[in-house]
Amino acid sequence: MSGPLRLRPDGLATGPQDPVPGPPARRPGSIRRTTSIDMRRGAPGDEQEVLGVGRDLLTLADGTTQVVDAARVAATVDRMGIVTSFASDPPVPALDGLIGEPVRSGLRRRVDALAGEHRERATVLHQILDDLPMAALISGYGASREVPDFTMPPESAAGMTDLCSGWRAGATMLGHLETTGLFPIPLGPDAPPLTDADDPLGWHDLPELQRRSIRRTRRLDVVLADGVAEVDVHYRDSHLGPGDEVEDVLHEYRLAVTVDPVSLEVRSASADAHVLPWPECPGALASAERVVGEPVTGLRPLVALQFTGTSTCTHLNDSLRSLAGVQSLVAALR
């Protein structure tokens, strides 16, 4: 259920502002994937630090747990968006080929070429790397908040018009830009904790969120019940400013999905928008149903090719892409 619209300080209406208060209890006989990626900005012009962490935690029928996959990524990105250093655990020497390349354009394609076995196995490492381009993009919102009266060149806005539901021509965001010449910066509600104090194993050890950072987090819970794999997906982008601000939520979705555990085809899918910046953004929710009948193993290329335009949302698309991980999570439950 989504919260009511509210007015921003500049008078513009927002999308839903109803952040998820915490994770559900882990169920016996389930597996949980959690990932986080932090983009840490220094002073203007400094390199950004990237820290990605993730884990698959199997909860057995008796309540005991077992880590079945884990990964960590540390990288730096210069002010032009070029990867200047890269390291991962588990180490993948071929991924040194990302150094000197853009962090946004083409990175997913290069990752798949350099570490195809991680793509095929839908590992935690691949999920972290798949999130890196959009985490870098979202980091720009944090930087723009520190620029009074942030503007966007008309040609840049034109290139993104009708990219997604929130960027549709004449809608709140682009309408404000056209009228005032100023780009309205997304603001969000305070971020509730992702963790549950009564379940210290419920998330991997989240790094401390540093000032001038954005964080992208994911949680996928999978359990086999009544002949299907039930999948609960939670995704959040949040930001922490340079001063006395508190962490606020930029984007947040939950998805409820069922998957055939043998064929890995999606049987049902629905999305709920908890936090989105603009009133038009939830218009993309119905697009989640378009993955029904598709195998999770093919969702990444399918979404990239077919989920475009104003009926979709870039961040919901990424949540649908993350369902590729169900392949390895179901395998671990057998």
What is the reported pLDDT for 1? Answer: 38
* Averaged confidence pLDDT in the chain: 93
Q: Is residue 308 part of a domain?
A: yes
CA-closest candidate to residue 1, choices 224, 274, 277: 274
Q: Which two tokens stand for residue 157?
A: 């806005």
What is the reported pLDDT for 5? Answer: 57
pTM over 0.85: yes
Which residues 6+ apart lie within 8 Å of 22 measured at CB?
A: 192, 193, 194, 195, 196
CA–CA separation, 98 and 250 (whole Å): 28
Q: Is residue 310 part of a domain?
A: yes
Q: Which amino acid is at 333?
A: L
Longest dimension (CA), the chain: 61
Question: In this predicted model, what pLDDT tens digit does every residue of 241-294 receive, in sequence order?
Answer: 988 789 999 999 999 999 999 999 999 999 999 999 999 999 999 999 999 999
CA-closest candidate to residue 215, choices 333, 38, 53, 72: 38
Q: Which ranges in 73-210 belong to alpha helices (H)? A: 107-114, 116-121, 124-144, 154-160, 172-180
The domain tally of the chain equals 1
Q: Is residue 319 part of a domain?
A: yes
Give me the mean pLDDT over the 112-129 stretch: 97
Q: Is residue 186 part of a domain?
A: yes
Q: Is residue 154 part of a domain?
A: yes
What is the reported pLDDT for 9? Answer: 58
pLDDT > 70 in the chain, percent = 97
What is the reported pLDDT for 155? Answer: 77
3-state secondary structure of 89: strand
Question: In this predicted model, what pLDDT tens digit does every residue of 67-77 receive, in sequence order?
Answer: 999 999 999 99
**Which residue's entry shows tokens 């890995």?**
264
Q: Is residue 208 part of a domain?
A: yes
Q: Is residue 9 part of a domain?
A: no
**Angle, helix 314-321 to helix 124-144, in steps of 10 degrees:** 160
- Which range marks the domain in which residue 266 is found? 30-70+144-333
Question: In this predicted model, what pLDDT tens digit does every residue of 315-325 receive, in sequence order?
Answer: 999 999 999 99
DSSP state letter for 82: B
pLDDT-derived band at 115, boundaries 50, 70, 90:
very high
Q: Is residue 11 part of a domain?
A: no
The DSSP string of 55-108 is EEEEE-TTS-EEEEEEEEEEEEE-TTSBEEEEEEES--GGGGGGTTSBSSTTHH
